[in-house]
């Protein structure tokens, strides 16, 4: 009986520890992200295609090396996205320390 109780407490502790990465928990940082209509070649761990993004409508474009969960990029469209950004605990050396999750596509304009 004591072992079963310990197992339940351990499982609850693990679930609670993971909540900071759970979009349903609402603990992320909500942001607007503007996405350019074309991708560019860039080098992360290996050569790849990066989206160009900015955080302000008139800001400078910068490379975006990560994926946005739930977002399907289509070339030729400029997007305004609402996203949530979560910290990733102990990410692998070649991975981002942030996790990006789509909340809503606010605008999709063909260019």
pTM for the complete prediction?
0.73
Q: How far is CA 74 from CA 14, 24, 77, 79, 111, in A?
A: 37, 26, 6, 10, 11
pLDDT reported for residue 31: 96
Judge contact between 63 and 15, C-beta under 8 A.
Answer: no
Strands (E), 1-111: 29-43, 47-54, 62-64, 68-69, 77-87, 98-110
Q: How far is CA 47 from CA 40, 43, 74, 95, 98, in A?
A: 11, 4, 20, 15, 20
10-residue mean pLDDT series, the chain (111 residues): 39 38 64 97 91 96 96 97 96 89 98 92
pLDDT reported for residue 53: 98
């Amino acid at each position: 009986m004591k072992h079963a109780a310990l197992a339940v407490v351990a499982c609850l502790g693990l679930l609670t520890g993971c909540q900071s990465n759970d979009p349903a928990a609402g603990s992320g940082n909500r942001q607007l992200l503007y996405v350019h209509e074309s991708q560019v070649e860039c080098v992360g761990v290996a050569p790849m295609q990066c989206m160009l993004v900015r955080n302000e409508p008139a800001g400078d474009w910068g490379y975006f090396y990560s994926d946005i969960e739930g977002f399907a990029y289509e070339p030729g469209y400029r997007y305004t996205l609402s996203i949530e950004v979560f910290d990733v605990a102990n990410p692998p050396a070649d991975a981002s320390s942030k996790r990006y999750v789509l909340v809503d596509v606010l605008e999709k304009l063909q260019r």
